[in-house]
Amino acid sequence: MGAEAGGAPQAALGKPLSPHLEIGAREGYRLWSAAYDDAPNALLALEMRTLSVRLGDVRGQRILDAGSGTGRWMQWAQARGAYVFGIDACHEMVLKAEQKAGLGGRSALADVRGIPLRDNAVDCAICSFTMGYLPSPGSVLRELARVSRCVIVSDLHPDAVRAGWTRSFRAGAQTYRFLHYEHSMAELDDCARRAGLTPCWRVEAALGEPEREIFRQAGRESVFDEVCLLPAVLITLWQK
């Protein structure tokens, strides 16, 4: 999670079904935590297949998952020989991560704007689907740059946000929509520069055939070709 929540919206495939309730991210992920890992998530699948290729060999690296949720990136990196640590602001999500094999004692309840690590403690910090829950990226990027020489931020693409895609989930019969903020690429780059970071690469990833089955299982295959026309996930890497 992050200062408010972590992970990605399960139903960010368009506008949520009405009626819906708007909810803060911390409370939303508390409600969602028990079922969070149970269903495939198209945005997470897209991010994973895109970013994992870019990360390459992480053996021996110290990796921070800043907004770790239930430990998805921690599991991926640890399985490939990295030393991992995660922080999240939702107690229930941290507990889910702590229960996973090999991740016990690897997570802390903390805010991404106040990471409990010393300066330059890690080689790479990944902030996945967390920035959009915060009103400003500046304080987050400063803190990520303080603890790591390499910073990766991924989130719902601004074009998708402007097109009406939402961060939402269903619990029982109720649909909840997360309160969130749009951050442009220019805003992110400006805040990163002020934090002493230099851009290395950026990917604007669109959903594709590997995600079609997830839409089919969710009963949303009828909109799949349409949503593939927009970039869905924005991933940027900056370095000191």
Q: Give me the pLDDT at residue 10, please.
A: 40
**Helix/strand/coil for 168:** strand
Torsion of CA 81, 77, 116, 91, to 10 degrees: -130
Q: Is the pLDDT of residue 180 over 90?
A: no
Residue 221: DSSP 8-state: G
* Cα(66)–Cα(146) distance, integer angstroms: 13
pLDDT in tens, 118-162: 999 999 999 999 999 999 999 999 999 999 999 999 999 999 999
Q: Are 238 and 154 a contacting pair, CB within 8 Å?
A: no
Burial environment of residue 36 by CB neighbours within 10 A (0 to 12, 13 to 18, 19 or more): buried
What is the spatial distance between Cα 87 and Cα 112, in angstroms, rounded to a whole number? 7
Alpha helices in the chain, H assignment, sequence order: 25-32, 42-55, 72-79, 91-98, 138-147, 158-162, 185-194, 212-217, 224-227
- pLDDT at position 19 is 62
20-239 maps to which CATH number? 3.40.50.150
Degrees (nearest 5) of the Cα angle 166, 73, 111? 70
* Three-state SS annotation for 14-27: CCCCCCEEEECHHH
Q: Which of 37-41, 113-117, 135-139, 220-224 has the least mean pLDDT?
A: 37-41
Share of the chain above pLDDT 70, in %: 92
Alpha-carbon distance of 124 to 138, in angstroms, equals 18
Whole-number mean pLDDT of the chain? Answer: 90
Most confident of 37-41, 170-174, 182-186: 182-186
Of 5, 46, 69, whose CA–CA distance to 212 is shortest? 46
Q: Is 14 left (phi over 0), alpha (psi -120 to 50) or beta?
A: left
How far is residue 91's CA from residue 83's CA, in Å, rounded to a whole number? 22
CA pair distance 8, 168, nearest whole angstrom: 9
Tell me what pLDDT residue 173 has.
80
Preceding omega of 135 cis (within 30 degrees of 0): no
Give per-residue pLDDT as tens, 153-172: 999 999 999 998 888 888 87
Whole-number pLDDT of residue 148: 98
